[in-house]
Structure 1
């Protein structure tokens, strides 16, 4: 048995702690519960196959992350008897016109052989869009990816915390410096890693997500996630309740005060995608997403006794569990 101290209780740190504790090691995780933690503010979309990023190492990581999810969640929920909000209702991907729809269909479908977990991939008619997601606009051509899913970051962290403790680990809500930690230190402090002068160099991006409700008499639970035009996406969060995002703002500020300008922008986008519904704003979630060099995750030793994981950006919830598995194995 070895001793590990993990600093940072986002999805990366919590997943690593869970897997290490499951292996029987002595694990203590410290987390300050900072406002703006990316894990709890994220929409939690798990659908990496539709991305147009071409970096093969990055894609291999997110692909394996999505592949691991069903097994991981099944184990975690059965152990802890906690819900995580994990659902695989598919993903409706919208495109500007039929030419781009066809190109996207060919690009996404070509990944099926290496990723059978993505399930069926097909072009959708307007009637099919309306049948699957009655409130959604039919103004844009769409491609459906059966394996698309979502996870609730807050609920996932709660389940991981319970799982860590059930495996004998400790979760302490306080600050700690790596120099005062026992055993091997695993540093997963996200955007706040800038407080410690070490590699990797971390910057962060402020992202805002609008939570809203639709004033509708009919309800349609368990609709697919929606990947809209550009960076926009929509996830169901409850009965006629959705989250739409996101904004992207490079910043050195750690403020989590919502922006009225961004709220109005997201509200207008929501009206675009739900043209026949009355949109009522509920709240704004603000997350600080960490990035490192080349916008790629950093995973490795930075000092003899300090192992760092950072820079997961917008894919933290997709890759967090599998990173936990692989780092624990290392």
Structure 2
């Protein structure tokens, strides 16, 4: 029996493999490198209820993910550090906008509040340098490798085949439908193919002539360390800079990168280094607004590639090519959305009824 083939062994592909483990057809996952070696491994691994522009469907995806994460955290299969998110207002105009967002999140059932400068000081910021912040205390971070290992272990125990170090070089079609894939090790017939290739998703789409408006941006991250222990929530600023506590005495600092309008198409395999200006921006932001990070030293760095969509929502579902599905364009929310995306797409592939609002929100057809 021809299998369902998943291209990509990051958190999205692993989640889908797990959720398809009981599918009547065999399931095969191909990963060009090691599991989680792409965007998932470069992620700062946040699960966030926070939204800058609250949307009911996006909240529903988060809730669906958390329903799956919560029991795994409770039984210690997955680790989760609940540190909260501070969305910082640099001036009164931003403060007014964040107060409005706080009210919208509250209507969705998210625990959110607006903190004045004095309250923000309790989280390590200089109260004289900010106008407050929106606080979503239930946000936190997970470990991507734990998530992928759990999904893959459960999937392979149920009979799913996982082949690493095996790049898919082409998707074979005939008469407008998928018939197989070509890999570095030969051709394999397939009943369906899922593009869960992260930053390589545009390349895989081109193999079958599917056009979707994916773009890339660069996400630089540096690891900062102090001798003494400290804590820091996820702190983000309107210009894209962010900081996130890590363990007892470290923090990650990064930048969300170019907006979709300014983004372009990048090669995921190109060597990437952190721009010197980014170091200066981080140093200035700490000096001006985050006294808790005074005296940190840089101990590591990397640059990831994120895949963006015009509306900021993932692209998940069927395409014009029969048997070819897409699960990509996570806009930096892969860890947050992986369980929901995997379970939803498994329903689509199985032909089950799906939530109509989510189908509209996620469908590739919205860009037709």
TM-score by length of 1: 0.83
Q: Quickly say closer, same or farther: Cα 1:247–1:99, change in 2 above 3 A.
A: closer
Please tell me whether residue 308 in structure 1 is matched to residue 308 in structure 2: no
Q: Deviations over 1:150-181 (max 9, x none)?
A: 23333322222223223332221012343234
Instruction: Provide the C-alpha distance between the structure 1 equivalents of 2:194 and 2:138, rounded to a whole number of angstroms.
Output: 32
Question: Is the CA contact 2:11–2:40 (under 8 Å) kept in the aligned structure 1?
Answer: yes
CA distance in 1, matches of 2:312, 2:223: 27
Tell me: CA distance 1:32–1:238, structure 2 relative to 1, closer, same or farther (3 Å). Answer: same
Provide closer, same or farther for how the CA distance between residues 22 and 108 of structure 1 changes in structure 2, counting only shifts above 3 A. Answer: farther
Q: Comparing both chains, which one has the higher relative contact order based on Cα–Cα distances under 8 Å and sequence gaps of 6 or more?
A: 1
Could you tell me which residue of structure 1 aligns to residue 39 of structure 2?
38
Distance 1:77 1:256, change over 3 A: farther
User: Is 1:236 matched up with 2:245?
Assistant: yes
Q: For this pair of structures, how many residues does the alignment match?
A: 315
1:21 alignment counterpart:
21
Q: Distance in 2 between matches of 1:300 and 1:70?
A: 21
Contact 1:206 1:248 in 2 (8 A): yes
Correspondence 1:168-317 to 2 at 5 A: 168-173=159-164, 174-176=166-168, 177-178=170-171, 179=181, 180-196=188-204, 197=206, 198-201=209-212, 202-215=214-227, 217=228, 219-221=229-231, 223-246=232-255, 248=257, 250-254=264-268, 255-268=270-283, 269-275=285-291, 277-292=294-309, 296-302=313-319, 303-317=321-335
2:123 pairs with 1:137: no
| d(CA) in 2 for partners of 1:312, 1:159 | 21
In the other structure, the counterpart of 2:360 is none
User: 2:174 aligns to what?
Assistant: none
Asked if the contact 2:226–2:249 (Cα under 8 Å) also holds between the matched residues in 1, the reply is: yes
Closer/same/farther in 2, CA of residues 91 and 295 from structure 1, 3 Å limit: closer
Shift of 1:52: 2.8
Shift of 1:94: 0.9
Superposed displacement of residue 243, structure 1 = 0.9
- Look up the match of 1:124: 115
Against the structure 1 CA distance between its residues 155 and 262, is the aligned structure 2 distance closer, same or farther, given a 3 Å change threshold?
A: farther
1:50-129 pair list within 5 angstroms: 50-52=51-53, 59-76=55-72, 82-83=77-78, 85-113=79-107, 115-116=108-109, 118-119=110-111, 121-129=112-120
- CA separation in 1, counterparts of 2:277 and 2:25? 45
Q: Which runs of 5+ in 2 are unaligned?
A: 172-180, 182-187, 259-263, 349-368
User: CA offset at residue 99 of structure 1?
Assistant: 4.4
* CA distance in structure 1 between the partners assigned to 2:211 and 2:80 by the alignment: 31
Quick one: distance in 2 between partners of 1:103 and 1:144? Answer: 13
Q: TM-score, normalised by structure 2?
A: 0.75
Structure 2 contact 52–101 (Cα < 8 Å) conserved: no
Q: Secondary structure at the match of 2:106?
A: coil
- Computed over aligned residues only, the root mean square deviation of the Cα atoms, in angstroms, reads 2.9
Give the direction of change, closer, same or farther, for the CA distance of 1:127–1:203 in structure 2 (3 Å limit).
closer
Query: Judging changes above 3 Å, is the alpha-carbon distance between structure 1 residues 125 and 195 closer, same or farther for their aligned structure 2 residues?
Result: closer
